[in-house]
Amino acid sequence: MKRGRPVQSDIRQNMVEVLFFLGEAYGYQIYKVYKKVFPPVTLRSMYYHLRKGTDLGEFVKLRTEKDQGDYSWGPSAERIIYKLGPQAKPKGDERVRQYIEEQQDAAD
Protein backbone atom coordinates (compact mmCIF):
# COMPACT_ATOMS: atom_id res chain seq x y z
CA MET A 1 0.00 0.00 0.00
CA LYS A 2 1.28 3.45 -0.91
CA ARG A 3 1.91 5.99 1.80
CA GLY A 4 0.48 9.48 2.03
CA ARG A 5 -2.68 11.01 0.68
CA PRO A 6 -4.45 9.29 -2.20
CA VAL A 7 -4.17 11.18 -5.49
CA GLN A 8 -7.89 11.00 -6.30
CA SER A 9 -10.33 13.26 -4.49
CA ASP A 10 -14.13 13.42 -4.46
CA ILE A 11 -14.00 17.20 -4.09
CA ARG A 12 -11.71 17.61 -7.09
CA GLN A 13 -13.81 15.19 -9.18
CA ASN A 14 -16.92 17.23 -8.33
CA MET A 15 -15.05 20.38 -9.38
CA VAL A 16 -14.22 18.67 -12.70
CA GLU A 17 -17.95 18.02 -13.18
CA VAL A 18 -18.78 21.68 -12.52
CA LEU A 19 -16.08 22.95 -14.87
CA PHE A 20 -17.16 20.44 -17.54
CA PHE A 21 -20.53 22.19 -17.82
CA LEU A 22 -19.27 25.75 -17.27
CA GLY A 23 -16.44 25.45 -19.82
CA GLU A 24 -14.21 27.98 -18.08
CA ALA A 25 -14.54 29.78 -14.77
CA TYR A 26 -12.63 31.30 -11.89
CA GLY A 27 -12.46 29.71 -8.46
CA TYR A 28 -15.36 31.52 -6.81
CA GLN A 29 -17.70 30.75 -9.74
CA ILE A 30 -16.90 27.05 -9.37
CA TYR A 31 -17.46 27.32 -5.62
CA LYS A 32 -20.91 28.94 -6.00
CA VAL A 33 -22.17 26.10 -8.20
CA TYR A 34 -20.43 23.44 -6.10
CA LYS A 35 -22.04 24.50 -2.83
CA LYS A 36 -25.54 24.37 -4.38
CA VAL A 37 -25.13 20.87 -5.83
CA PHE A 38 -22.66 18.95 -3.63
CA PRO A 39 -22.01 18.57 0.13
CA PRO A 40 -20.52 21.57 1.96
CA VAL A 41 -16.86 22.39 1.42
CA THR A 42 -14.76 25.37 2.42
CA LEU A 43 -13.54 27.92 -0.11
CA ARG A 44 -10.01 27.33 1.15
CA SER A 45 -10.31 23.62 0.31
CA MET A 46 -11.59 24.50 -3.17
CA TYR A 47 -8.53 26.65 -3.88
CA TYR A 48 -6.26 23.89 -2.57
CA HIS A 49 -7.84 21.46 -5.03
CA LEU A 50 -7.55 23.95 -7.90
CA ARG A 51 -3.80 24.15 -7.25
CA LYS A 52 -3.47 20.39 -6.81
CA GLY A 53 -5.60 19.71 -9.91
CA THR A 54 -3.43 22.11 -11.92
CA ASP A 55 -0.33 20.19 -10.81
CA LEU A 56 -1.98 16.88 -11.80
CA GLY A 57 -3.17 18.18 -15.18
CA GLU A 58 -6.89 18.07 -14.34
CA PHE A 59 -7.19 21.87 -14.61
CA VAL A 60 -5.37 24.36 -16.82
CA LYS A 61 -4.94 28.07 -16.09
CA LEU A 62 -6.20 30.01 -19.10
CA ARG A 63 -5.52 33.58 -18.08
CA THR A 64 -5.47 36.01 -15.19
CA GLU A 65 -7.88 38.94 -15.10
CA LYS A 66 -7.57 42.03 -12.93
CA ASP A 67 -10.85 43.46 -11.68
CA GLN A 68 -10.96 47.00 -10.31
CA GLY A 69 -13.34 47.79 -7.49
CA ASP A 70 -13.73 48.85 -3.89
CA TYR A 71 -12.74 45.68 -2.02
CA SER A 72 -11.99 45.36 1.68
CA TRP A 73 -8.41 44.31 0.84
CA GLY A 74 -7.70 47.00 -1.71
CA PRO A 75 -8.61 48.54 -5.08
CA SER A 76 -8.31 45.40 -7.25
CA ALA A 77 -8.86 41.65 -7.32
CA GLU A 78 -7.14 39.03 -9.42
CA ARG A 79 -9.13 36.21 -11.03
CA ILE A 80 -7.45 33.12 -12.46
CA ILE A 81 -9.62 31.53 -15.14
CA TYR A 82 -9.47 27.71 -15.34
CA LYS A 83 -10.61 25.10 -17.85
CA LEU A 84 -10.40 21.31 -17.85
CA GLY A 85 -7.00 19.82 -18.52
CA PRO A 86 -5.99 16.66 -20.37
CA GLN A 87 -6.07 14.47 -17.23
CA ALA A 88 -9.65 15.44 -16.27
CA LYS A 89 -12.19 12.65 -16.57
CA PRO A 90 -15.66 14.20 -16.37
CA LYS A 91 -18.61 11.84 -16.04
CA GLY A 92 -21.31 14.37 -16.94
CA ASP A 93 -23.13 14.56 -13.60
CA GLU A 94 -26.81 15.31 -14.29
CA ARG A 95 -27.26 17.30 -11.06
CA VAL A 96 -24.70 19.85 -12.21
CA ARG A 97 -26.13 20.07 -15.74
CA GLN A 98 -29.64 20.54 -14.37
CA TYR A 99 -28.59 23.24 -11.89
CA ILE A 100 -26.66 25.22 -14.52
CA GLU A 101 -29.55 24.99 -16.99
CA GLU A 102 -31.97 26.24 -14.30
CA GLN A 103 -29.69 29.21 -13.59
CA GLN A 104 -29.44 30.05 -17.29
CA ASP A 105 -33.24 29.82 -17.71
CA ALA A 106 -33.75 32.11 -14.71
CA ALA A 107 -31.35 34.66 -16.21
CA ASP A 108 -33.25 34.77 -19.52
Region 51-58: what's the mean pLDDT?
A: 94
Q: Quick check: is 74 in a domain? A: yes
Q: What are 6-48's pLDDT values in tens digits? A: 778 899 999 999 999 999 999 999 999 999 999 999 999 999 9
What gap in Å lies between CA 95 and CA 108, rounded to an integer? Answer: 20
CATH number where 47 lies:
1.10.10.10
Would you state the pLDDT for residue 55?
A: 94
User: Would you say residue 61 has pLDDT above 80?
Assistant: yes
> Who wins on pLDDT, 105 or 28?
28
Domain residue limits at 66: 10-107
Would you state the pLDDT for residue 103?
A: 87
Chain-wide mean pLDDT for the chain?
91
Q: Quick check: is 25 in a domain? A: yes
Q: Quick check: is 57 in a domain? A: yes
Instruction: Supply the pTM of this predicted model.
Output: 0.86
Q: Quick check: is 4 in a domain? A: no
pLDDT bracket for residue 1 (50, 70, 90) = low
DSSP single-letter state for residue 96: H
Region 52-63: what's the mean pLDDT?
A: 94
DSSP single-letter state for residue 68: E
Q: Quick check: is 68 in a domain? A: yes
Q: Quick check: is 56 in a domain? A: yes
Domain count, the chain: 1
Taking Cα atoms as reference points, which of 102, 27, 12 lies closest to residue 65? 27
